[in-house]
Amino acid sequence: MTIRKAVIPCAGLGTRFLPFTKVMPKELVPLLDKPLIHHAIDEAIASDIDEIVLVTSPEKEALRRYFEELPKGLEGRSTDNPDLAFAGEYSSWGGTISFVEQREPNGLGHAVLMAEEAIGLEPFAVLLPDDLILSTSPTLKVMVELFEVYKSGLIAVEKVSWEKVGNYGIIDPEPVDEKVYRVNGVVEKPVEAQAPSDLAIVGRYIMPPEIFRFLEKTRPGARGEIQLTDGIGLMLEQFSVFAYRFDGIRHDIGNPIGLFGASLALADRRQIYMDVLNSFLDEFSAKRGMSS
Ligand code: G1P
C-alpha cells in the first residue's frame, strides 16, 4: 500500500513568534518567497502525496484563505525564471488540501487524532512544518520508499547533543541497517539522565491507521499535552516501528533565529538571493576592513 495522504498539524500557538502570532498564523511567516507552510506542502508533493489534511485552530482562518487565494495568485505569474517560480510543484499538482479543526491546543497527538476521519483506514504521513529538512532527496520521499520495504510505522531521527535531548522525542534504537533502526521505545522530552539515546525525532512520520486507536487512549504527558510520541509508545506494544536517520540538515523554522539560518541555507540554492547576500557580504567585509 502506498502513502497517498499526509497530515500537517498547524494548530500550535506559535509562542516563539509572539506578538505576531496573536494576529497571524505562524505558518504564514515567509521563508524567502513563500510561507513556512508552503515548504512543507512542497515536500509532501515531491513525495507523491495527493491528499493533504491541515489541522488548524479556529483562529487560523488566514491559513485557509491562503490556499483559497493561491490558485488565483498564480495566474499570470512568471514561471520562466526558476528563481521566481514561487509555487514550485504546487502549480501543476492535481491533489487536494482539506482542513480539520483542533479546537483546543491539546498537543500534537491530539492534533493528529483530529485527522482520523479524513485519513480513514490507510497508512499516512505526518509532516511538522516547523522542521525544514534540506537534503538532496526529500526526506519524506525516502521514507515513503522505506515504507515499501518495512511496511511499518517510520519516524525520522537525527543525532542531537545530549544537552538538547530534553527538547525532543527520543528513541530507544536497535540498528537494523545503515540508517535504519528498530524502535524499542520512545520518550517525549526526557531529562538527560533518562534519555535512551541521543537520537531525536524530527517532524516526519509514516503511521499506520492503527495509531488513532492508541492516540485515543493516550493520556496527557510532557507539558500536559497529548503527545504523538506517547501514542507511538503505546502502539509499540503491538506494532513494529522503525526510525530513519535522514541525510541532510534540519532547521527549526518555528523561531526567528532558526528561520534566519534556514533563509541563508535556502538562499544558497537560489542565485537571485545569493546575489543579494554576496553583495551584502562584500559591503560588510569592506566596512570591517576599514574599522580594523
Ligand atoms: C515535537 C514532537 C517531538 C519532536 C519535535 C521535532 O515537539 O513532540 O517528539 O522531537 O516535534 O521537532 P515540539 O517541537 O512540538 O516540542
Whether 21 is in a domain gets the answer yes
Helix (H) or strand (E) holding 263: helix 256-267
The pTM assigned to this predicted structure is 0.94
Whether 270 is in a domain gets the answer no
Q: What is the mean pLDDT of residues 254-259?
A: 95
Domain of 227, CATH number, reads 3.90.550.10
Q: Which is the closest atom of ligand 1 to the Cα of 169?
A: 9
Q: How confident is the model at residue 12 (pLDDT cuts 50, 70, 90)?
A: confident
- Residue 229 beta carbon below 6 angstroms from any ligand 1 atom: yes
How many domains are there within the chain? Answer: 1
Phi and psi at 134, nearest 5°, equal -100, 115
SS3 249: strand
| Residue type, position 111, single letter | A
In sequence order, the β-bridge partners of residue 235 are: none
Q: Which is the closest atom of ligand 1 to the Cα of 12?
A: 15
For 142, half-sphere exposure in the C-beta direction (CA atoms, 13 angstrom radius) is: 19
**Inter-residue contact 79 to 27 (CB < 8 Å):** no
Whether 225 is in a domain gets the answer yes
Q: What is the mean pLDDT of residues 247-264?
A: 96
Give residue 117's domain range. 5-254
Look at ligand 1, atom 14, and give the residue with the nearest C-alpha: 168
Whether 188 is in a domain gets the answer yes
Q: What is the mean pLDDT of residues 27-50?
A: 95
Joined grid coordinates for residue 150: 518495512
Q: Please identify which residue in the block is written with the cell numbers 538562499.
A: 267
Whether 87 is in a domain gets the answer yes
